Structure 1
Amino acid sequence: METPYPNPISPGKTRIGWIGIGVMGGAMASRLLSAGYSITVYARSPAKAAALQSQGAHLASSPSEVASHSDVVFTMVGHPSDVRSIVLESQGRGILAGLGPGGVMVDTTTSDPALAREIFAAARAKGCWSVDSPVSGGDIGARDGKLAIFAGGDAGVVDWLSPLYGVMGKVSYMGKAGCGQSCKIANQIVVGANLLGLSEGLVFAERAGLDVRQFMNAVRGGAAGSMVMELFGERMIGRDFRPGGFAEYMVKDMGMGVDFVEENENERGGVPVLPGAALGKQLFVGMVANGDGHLGTQGLITVIERLNGK
């Protein structure tokens, strides 16, 4: 089977496809366009592609058409069901239906590790490759090219992709197919806990009569400081809940960790107990139930405020 290795990636030669051009995907694709790469995009609502088209992107009518014009196809969609549909189940219009031998599919969606392994096997059966490489860093990281990228799949293919990853952030190779997704789920468990701690700290500080901005500036250089505080602290204080990532997606992300525990509870010796993740998931479920699922994840503070009668 062909491999991509003999053909090094370069802006003048490597054709890129992109599916999923929301807040994160649009910013990531824009950086590749600015770096000189030719990009073909697909959007279920074509009007959403206007900004990228103004930068020179080409618009395709289906995922398979994107793939047929690409050497590497990136996806950044909402849920594992969307990934499955776009890659495997689009009635002959999916990515693998259009991707030629030696082509590479890169899923940056936060998705299911088992699905990543299934897609890897399906891609190899076609003479193609797939890499699961979800990202962390939010809309700011996507815009500034400072994302943390967690890659699972063939190590050689991940290394071959490094010029593209370098435009978007810093990639870490995590292991075989599915390991990138497992790393991102663990990442989201940590992010959720940090968002909860920051939310409770701000609510407590306000109730204690502190100036909340002064509080945050006092503690950010100590052990309480975190990237979550840097990304979201000012947004929380300023009531800026515009999404870099939707709160409803945290239900999915943390839920995959909690579901892993529940599905493997009879194998307790090798399965972690995650009470914090379970609580965090329920608090984000509360956000969705309050009608706030499309707020940014920093909107978690509104749940803590509601619990405190605000």
Structure 2
Amino acid sequence: MTRIAVFGTGIMGAPIARNLAAAGHDVVVWNRSFDKAAALAGPGITPVRNARDAARGADAAILMVSTGAVCDALLFGDDGIAEALPRGSTVVVMSSIPVETARTEAARLADAGIDYVDAPVSGGERGAVAGTLTIMAGGTADVVAKVAEWLAPVGRVTHVGPVGSGQLAKLANQLIVGVTIGAVAEALLLVEAGGGDAEAVHRALQGGFADSTIWRQHGERMIRGDFQPGAHATVQLKDLDTSTGLAGSLGLELPFAGLARDLYAKMCEGPRAALDHSALYLELAERRNG
């Protein structure tokens, strides 16, 4: 049994904590809004109000919070958990954060004798609940192998390189997701505007070259008009901002990513910011109607 502290118990963090506890780990949970952590109280899960209390004695600390700045503050800010974590413990950042932020955090924790893995995920709420997340892990091979054993109830861990590589893989993932959601939305709008049956076309393209998880899951969401967030549009925008910003610093031009970023930015100016990222469909439909 491993003692694991989970920081951030929202859409993704809560099912991750449940799956770890169900596998027999001793799980302590903390969330900025304590009510979300308290709702997880039960066999194998102990909610605490103070982040440092969660960190004390933990073998691993999993961070599933919103941004790199929040990760930095949680680790090193006032009452930061880095000072409470034992030497030899491991910080696993499952949040999507900038590559350089991950590398800097790892260096600072190494000075305290604490290992670090950046391990962002793909699979959304469904994958978190089912324990089938794709986990892209950056770090040393031995530390990632250890973390992979702990995270087996959460999903499949793939070691993609040194610290920061997990975030690079996640940016690649989010670029593909953001652009593909736009393509799926446009395809369905084309079918609907032309008088076709969107549901029939959705079924017909499954198994062909255009098929994908996004076509199946988000295409279905668009057809049903179900945009309750499994992954927030604001998070998609944040990751596209990070990927296009990194590309610019490397001298790369990514026109499709840039267009997707601009569309999500427009979407997130209004109330649709609170919706699932597949609600880009609504933004594009409004442009047609306008």
Identify the TM-score tier after normalising by the shorter chain. Answer: over 0.9
In the TM superposition, residue 231 of structure 1 has moved relative to its aligned partner by: 2.3
For residues 35-58 of structure 1, the C-alpha deviation after alignment (integer angstroms, 9 at most, x for no partner) is 111111111111112331134411
For residues 59-81 of structure 1, the C-alpha deviation after alignment (integer angstroms, 9 at most, x for no partner) is 22322221113110101011111
Matched, 1:42 2:22: no
For residues 73-124 of structure 1, the C-alpha deviation after alignment (integer angstroms, 9 at most, x for no partner) is 10101111111111122x1x21211111101000000111101001110111
Task: Tell me the amino acid that sits aligned with residue 36 of structure 1.
Answer: G
Identify the match of residue 254 of structure 1 among 227, 237, 240: 240
- How far, CA to CA, are the matches of 2:283 and 2:260 in structure 1? 11
Q: Equivalent residue of 2:92, what SS? A: strand
RMSD over equivalenced CA pairs, Å: 1.2
- How far, CA to CA, are the matches of 1:301 and 1:55 in structure 2? 41
- How far, CA to CA, are the matches of 1:120 and 1:113 in structure 2? 11
Alignment CA distance shift 1:230-1:55 (3 Å): farther
Unpaired runs of 5+ residues, structure 2, are: none
The percent identity for this pair of structures is 32
Task: Tell me the amino acid that sits aligned with residue 263 of structure 1.
Answer: S
Matched, 1:15 2:3: yes
Identify the match of residue 281 of structure 1 among 261, 267, 270: 261
TM-score, with structure 1 as normaliser: 0.91
Q: Equivalent residue of 1:221, what SS? A: coil
Identify the match of residue 84 of structure 2 among 98, 101, 105: 98
For 1:28, the equivalent position in structure 2 comes to 16
- How far, CA to CA, are the matches of 2:40 and 2:114 in structure 1? 27
Question: Counterparts in 2 of 1:78-89, with a 5 A limit?
Answer: 78-89=66-77
For 1:142, the equivalent position in structure 2 comes to 128
For 2:106, the equivalent position in structure 1 comes to 120
TM-score, with structure 2 as normaliser: 0.97
Matched, 1:201 2:187: yes
Task: Tell me the amino acid that sits aligned with residue 46 of structure 2.
Answer: H
Task: Tell me the amino acid that sits aligned with residue 61 of structure 1.
Answer: R
Matched, 1:220 2:206: yes
Q: Equivalent residue of 1:261, what SS? A: helix
Q: Equivalent residue of 1:222, what SS? A: coil
How many equivalent residue pairs? 290
Preserved contact between residue 15 and residue 72 of structure 1 (Cα < 8 Å): yes
- How far, CA to CA, are the matches of 2:152 and 2:32 in structure 1? 28
Identify the match of residue 68 of structure 1 among 56, 61, 67: 56
Task: Tell me the amino acid that sits aligned with residue 282 of structure 2.
Answer: T
- How far, CA to CA, are the matches of 2:65 and 2:216 in structure 1? 26
In the TM superposition, residue 286 of structure 1 has moved relative to its aligned partner by: 1.3
For 1:7, the equivalent position in structure 2 comes to none
Task: Tell me the amino acid that sits aligned with residue 253 of structure 2.
Answer: V
Preserved contact between residue 246 and residue 296 of structure 1 (Cα < 8 Å): yes
Preserved contact between residue 22 and residue 44 of structure 2 (Cα < 8 Å): no
For 1:301, the equivalent position in structure 2 comes to 281
- How far, CA to CA, are the matches of 1:225 and 1:255 in structure 2? 27
Preserved contact between residue 17 and residue 69 of structure 1 (Cα < 8 Å): no
Task: Tell me the amino acid that sits aligned with residue 182 of structure 2.
Answer: L
Preserved contact between residue 105 and residue 129 of structure 1 (Cα < 8 Å): yes
- How far, CA to CA, are the matches of 1:165 and 1:191 in structure 2? 24
Preserved contact between residue 191 and residue 198 of structure 2 (Cα < 8 Å): yes
Q: Equivalent residue of 2:5, what SS? A: strand
Preserved contact between residue 38 and residue 47 of structure 2 (Cα < 8 Å): no
Of stretches 111-120 and 51-60 in structure 1, the one that deviates more from structure 2 is 51-60
Q: Equivalent residue of 2:171, what SS? A: helix
Unpaired runs of 5+ residues, structure 1, are: 1-10
- How far, CA to CA, are the matches of 1:51 and 1:224 in structure 2? 41
Preserved contact between residue 195 and residue 298 of structure 1 (Cα < 8 Å): yes
- How far, CA to CA, are the matches of 1:211 and 1:86 in structure 2? 49
Task: Tell me the amino acid that sits aligned with residue 45 of structure 1.
Answer: S
- How far, CA to CA, are the matches of 1:54 and 1:202 in structure 2? 44
